[in-house]
Amino acid sequence: MQPERLLTKPFVLTMLAEFALCTSIGMLLAVVPVYAHDNLGVGSFGVALAVAAVSPMVLVCQPLAGRFGDRRGRKFLIVAGGAIAALAVAGYVVADSLPLLVVLRLLTGAGEALLLVGAATMITDLAPEHRRGEALSLFSLGLWGGLALGPILGELVLGDDRFDAVWLLAAACCLASALIGLTLPETAPLREPEHETTARLVHPAAIGPGVVLSFTVLGFAGIGTFGALYARELGLDGAGSVFLTFSAVVVATRVLARQVPDRLGPKRTARVALSLIAAGLLTIGVWNVPAGLFAGTIVVAFGHALAFPSLMTLAVNAAPASERSSVVGTFSAFTELGFLVGALSLGAIASTAGYDGVFVVCALGPLLGVVVLSRLTVPRRVEPMPEGA
């Protein structure tokens, strides 16, 4: 039956919009630190500020984007988000000081938040209810693909000193995502006039699954923040191969095991995923050799690949379609919250317990998530597919 199809034209185009934006994000992650250090002459704190300025804006804007998406539609978020990010990134060409670069990075974060919330919500609108976990697994491939390709493309274009070329290409990727958005249908259900003001800023259906998500992101923050330093401590040249392994496992799992959250059930799948993440982090912290680092990374990546689509499915299934964008915005904000809290708190742990101690402590996060998940009761709602989906 036609309504049961998953890979429809709007679905694929939404994935491409996400891929274009995330390619830009990947390019900027690789090149902005170099620009801040070499061209602006700032120290380590300035580099960190330039890179991290996006995160607080994404955290703030995602719930706002979710509320707006329920009131005015998902398509507008994708188009406006891509356009705002394109203008902001193009502005890097004239960013000759750290304060100006930080302002433009904040604006970039606002655009990213709008587009990512709009695209993720549209995917949940388009997917058949019983295949929503599979849909979110496939959708995330656009993110991982863009983040994998972006740094390689950014460094290739940069060469010796072609920063402006990088900024303009990254801006073009953002603009491409906005143009793709113009071709998409609106998938938001029609709202009754009397319900026009009920779109929520923080949706309660997303809080429980979002808290659990933040505990899973805590472990990823440990790998992202201290993985490279720990790899060198173990005698490796760097963590490039570790991150490549992580990405490869996530992509492979979300392709080959994309139906697991729907067949096993999102709550049960999330419980298994959290246990795997905890086991992998504990392996990294206790088995202090390169083999332990790679083995633990593989297990953590497998858990992460299953955790996100399962937890988002739990959140989305607990709310009506008219409030789905608010759910996605609230849920997504917990990713940034978990990463920020993790990155800030784990520094103190590393200074006292060492890098291996960081991963042992990080393993407690997913275990706490299992406890929260066991107490979580999420009602299931089955919504009709939007017309034309």
Domain boundaries, the chain: 2-185, 204-374
Structure confidence at residue 181 (pLDDT): 94
Asked if domains 2-185 and 204-374 share a fold, the reply is yes
Q: How many CB atoms lie within 10 A of CB 121?
A: 30
> In percent, how much of the chain has pLDDT > 90?
33
Which residue ranges of the chain lie beneath pLDDT 70?
A: 1-4, 44, 48, 190-201, 224-225, 228, 238-240, 343-344, 347, 378-389
Structure confidence at residue 385 (pLDDT): 41
Q: What is the DSSP string of 260-317?
A: HHHHH-HHHHHHHHHHHHHHHHHHHHHS-SHHHHHHHHHHHHHHHHHHHHHHHHHHHH
Nearest by Cα to 135 from 323, 4, 283, 267: 4
Helix segments in the chain, DSSP class H: 9-38, 44-52, 54-72, 74-90, 98-126, 132-158, 163-182, 204-233, 240-256, 260-264, 266-286, 290-317, 324-362, 364-374
d(CA 91, CA 80): 17
215, 338 Cβ separation under 8 angstroms:
yes
Tell me the C-alpha to C-alpha distance, in Å, between residue 115 and each of 40, 295, 358: 29, 35, 33
Supply the pTM of this predicted model: 0.73
Is the domain 204-374 a CATH 1.20.1250.20 member?
A: yes
Is the domain 2-185 a CATH 1.20.1250.20 member?
A: yes
Sign of CA dihedral 287, 216, 141, 55: negative
Structure confidence at residue 3 (pLDDT): 47
Q: What is the mean pLDDT of the chain?
A: 83
Task: Provide the angle, in degrees to the nearest 10, between the axes of the packed helices 132-158 and 163-182.
Answer: 150
> In percent, how much of the chain has pLDDT > 70?
89
Structure confidence at residue 101 (pLDDT): 93
d(CA 173, CA 19): 9
Structure confidence at residue 281 (pLDDT): 94
Q: How many CB atoms lie within 10 A of CB 180?
A: 22
